[in-house]
């Protein structure tokens, strides 16, 4: 390396220091030139070492590590998938073998089913039978309930009908949504206002009518089926 201090290589040129009279600056500058002169030698040695051992002294980057992990994961997943596929294939073959053993062809070319014992066969038959009994019980219970309800309605209807008939025989007065007190009050009011004219759209004559309208009056249906206003007493 017999080169001037200001020239290290063809492409590297270092200018003179700014302070020539400063000894400290001159010593720093000389050390810097010496280090710069050693850079090409270090680069050559490192390149030789890398060529001999490509991964010696180097550290793998995070991308390389992630790529390696992904490669291992892919290999592991592919191996697991291969094992699962093989296991499924074995199960499918076993099922086909059992199915072939379950059915056989006889000389008359008819496929008959052999008595095949299933583990849950009896339990399933028992459950189906219990469900059938339960459904039948619910069905007939609902039928009985409906019939009883209908009979009760008929009984109470006949009893109420008999009571209404007896009431009509006693009072001789049809019931149109009014109780006996209301009918009595209406009769008393009608008796007091028997001379009044009937108030109706058709202007019919009626012996039971009210034509005077006062406060606290309500719309009612009188026994003559005409709608009138009558004064209420409480």
The conformational region for residue 227 under phi > 0 = left, psi -120 to 50 = alpha, else beta, is beta
Q: Which long-range contacts (CB under 8 A, 24 or more apart) does 169-174 make?
A: 173/223, 174/223
At 229, is the pLDDT very low, low, confident or very high (cuts 50, 70, 90)? very low
Give the pLDDT of residue 127. Answer: 79
Question: What percentage of the chain carries pLDDT values higher than 70?
Answer: 35
pLDDT (tens digit per residue) in 18-43: 555 566 667 777 777 777 776 767 67
For the ranges 49-58, 75-84, 103-112, the lowest mean pLDDT is seen at 103-112
Q: How far is Cα of residue 84 from the mean position of the Cα atoms in its chain?
A: 33
Strand, helix or coil at 113? strand
Strand ranges, E, within 102-175: 103-105, 111-113
The C-alpha atoms of residue 189 and residue 233 are separated, in whole angstroms, by 10
| pLDDT tens digits, one per residue of 169-226 | 555 555 555 566 666 555 554 444 444 444 444 444 444 444 444 444 554 545 454 4
Tokens of 162: 């008999």
**Is there a contact between 214 and 230 (Cβ–Cβ < 8 Å)?**
no
pLDDT in tens, 96-150: 666 665 555 544 555 555 555 566 677 777 778 888 888 888 888 888 888 888 8
Best CA proximity match to 186, nearest among 153, 213, 223: 223
pTM for the complete prediction? 0.20
Res 79: pLDDT: 76
């Amino acid at each position: 390396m017999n080169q001037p201090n200001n020239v290290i290589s063809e492409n590297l040129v270092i200018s003179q220091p700014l302070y020539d009279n400063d000894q400290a600056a001159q010593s720093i500058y000389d050390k810097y030139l010496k280090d710069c002169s050693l850079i090409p030698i270090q680069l050559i040695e490192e390149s030789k070492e890398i060529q001999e051992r490509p991964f010696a002294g180097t550290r793998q980057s995070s991308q390389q590590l992630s790529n390696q992990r992904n490669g291992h994961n892919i290999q592991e997943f592919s191996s697991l998938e291969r094992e699962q596929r093989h296991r499924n294939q074995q199960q499918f073959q076993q099922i086909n073998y059992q199915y072939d053993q379950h059915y056989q062809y006889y000389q008359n070319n008819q496929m008959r089913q052999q008595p095949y014992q299933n583990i849950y066969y009896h339990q399933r038959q028992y459950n189906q039978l219990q469900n059938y009994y339960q459904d039948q019980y619910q069905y007939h219970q609902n039928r009985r309930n409906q019939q009883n309800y209908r009979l009760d309605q008929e009984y109470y209807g006949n009893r109420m009908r008999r009571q209404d008939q007896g009431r009509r025989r006693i009072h001789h007065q049809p019931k149109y949504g009014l109780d006996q007190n209301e009918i009595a009050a209406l009769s008393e009011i009608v008796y007091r206002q028997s001379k009044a004219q009937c108030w109706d759209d058709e202007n019919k004559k009626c012996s039971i009518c009210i034509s005077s309208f006062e406060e606290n009056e309500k719309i009612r249906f009188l026994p003559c089926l005409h709608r009138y206003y009558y004064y209420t007493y409480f």
